[in-house]
Chains A and B, each alone.
Chain A
Amino acid sequence: MKYSEKVMERFKNTKNMGRIENADGIGKVGNAKCGDVMWIYIKVENNIITECKFETFGCVAAIATSSLATDLVMGKTPEEALEITNKRIVEMLDGLPPEKLHCSVLAEDGIKRAIEDYHRRKQGLSPLPEKEEDEHEHAHDHDEEK
């Protein structure tokens, strides 16, 4: 099997899937063309992320990384959550196949975008639009260094 047991476990018993109605921040990232779209929802109370859920259209790696990312975010302040890197996500999953590393980048981006959206909404600005990844962005191997 090309995936680690941790990835499979996450995929099989997926946590935090679904939508938060009245979320305080939403991060929409990905591109259906490449087969991965993630929407990350956060609920923030007293500067603590109390709830985080995801909706993902994508492969096993995309689902596992978004589920883990939402777990990592919960209980943190938005500032702390910004420190979550794709590298950490990959480590916690015992690695991902090289062609799947972009999924972890997407999860990190999704969180960052949800937090950015939260700050905007707090300031009374309009919500962030969906971020369409450049199709070819994934193909680069920049993912690993991140």
Chain B
Amino acid sequence: MDKVYYLDNNATTKTDPEVVSAMMPYFSENYFNPSGVYSAAQEARKDVENARSAAAKFLNADPKEIIFTSGGTESDNMAIKGTAYANTDKGKHIITTKIEHHAIINTCKYLEKHGWEVTYLGVDKFGIVDIEELKRSIRKDTVLISVMYANNEIGTIQPIEEIGKIARENSVYFHTDAVQAAGKVLLDVKKLNVDMMSISGHKFHGPKGVGIFYLKKGVRIHSLTQGGHHEFNRRAGTENVPGIIGLAKACEIASAHLTDSADMARIKAMRDRLEKGIIERIPEVIVNGHPEKRMDNTSNVSIKYIEGEGMLIHMDFEGICASSGSACTSGSLDPSHVLLAIGLDHGTAHGSIRFSLSKYTTDEDVNKVLEVLPPAVVKLRSMSPFWKEKNK
């Protein structure tokens, strides 16, 4: 493979080599089913339970509140459908936001087809949910509020603690999709007042296809899969032992990284330099997301008068990996629902690109973007009818 300049860490991250080495023995040496009665299996059980403790520590939860899943999507499904199915005696109303990941939005849409009502809260131009609208939307039959911690596209961080408090006061369950937040901000389920939380390994240098569903003691949910007694009867199926071991390792590494302020500052400094460099070199750029309440690794910019895919492909010619909110890259005709929710017009939303950094990002990656993107924009604008009209 040619050299890549990887700036798409909100899509997925490089698995930390330490995580990979922690996993390796669990494929061909310690491959035993943790449910077995023989000692080799019991060793595997012990390792899985130690991993559970590590995951619990990462979230300040009790190990019994940790359910290993296949990732963010499954955890989100468990939270939404699991709560909905188990609490029909109370009602069939769910509150979420317009900027959730599709794992939440499409699960809610599915429930809407089956008799549930869903309120999708709007956000302001920075992507922050409207707290007053949230308060007004809570009803007697509301069973769940689900608000994402940090947005994958624009990085905006929600006031989760405050929302959790409102949910508690109203005796409504509260779930947060913290898939993007994990590894980028310290997570404490107690402080945040959450009942459920979704985490995905591959977003913070862990393996793909494994995640965490945090389920607070006493919260009523139904299982989505019927089968064996695994994961406290919540999630049937033989444990993904290598994945779970790798995920736990990623949690440990992330904790160390999060408490290392120099490490965190380095990522933010690179992100800021990238963003500033783009604004300096390219006229008519809008920065999306909240100026401060934003993940330090994420930069989403709208380059006006052109469409995102062309920029991505020009960058790809030079090995740069980034992503876009344009329809062309989403497989639908509409640009990103998040960018529309923050009030961008369709044209501007189509011209949005996202750069997301990680601990593996280097100054060289940033320099490469600043070298390649500006001339690509000049070229694309030179053939854009809107750019010409504007400069007439």
Contacts and interface: CB of A to CB of B under 8 A. Distances in A.
B328 A59 contact: yes
Contact of A55 (B307, B310, B384): B384
A8 B310 CA distance: 10
A70 to B, nearest CB: 11
Contacts of A139: 333
**Mostly helix, strand, loop or mixed at chain B's interface?**
helix
Q: For the side of the interface on A, what is the size category?
A: 20 to 34
A118 interface: no
A35 B328 contact: yes
B218 interface: no
A11 B310 contact: yes
Contact of A57 (B317, B335, B384): B384
A30 to B, nearest CB: 9
Given A11-B313, A35-B327, A138-B333, A56 B350 contact: no
Contacts of B305: 57
20 contacts: A8-B313, A14-B379, A17-B383, A19-B388, A34-B327, A35-B307, A35-B327, A35-B346, A35-B350, A37-B385, A37-B386, A55-B384, A59-B307, A59-B310, A60-B309, A60-B328, A99-B331, A135-B333, A138-B333, A139-B333
Contacts of A129: none
Contacts of B309: 59-60
Interface residues of B, number: 23
B367 interface: no
Interface string A56-70: 111111110000000
B306 interface: yes
Nearest to A57: B384
A6 B347 CA distance: 27
A60 B386 contact: no
Nearest to A58: B307
Given A35-B307, A55-B388, A58-B307, 20 more contacts: A8-B313, A11-B313, A18-B383, A32-B346, A32-B347, A32-B350, A35-B327, A54-B383, A55-B383, A55-B384, A55-B385, A56-B385, A57-B305, A57-B384, A57-B385, A58-B310, A59-B307, A59-B328, A60-B309, A60-B313
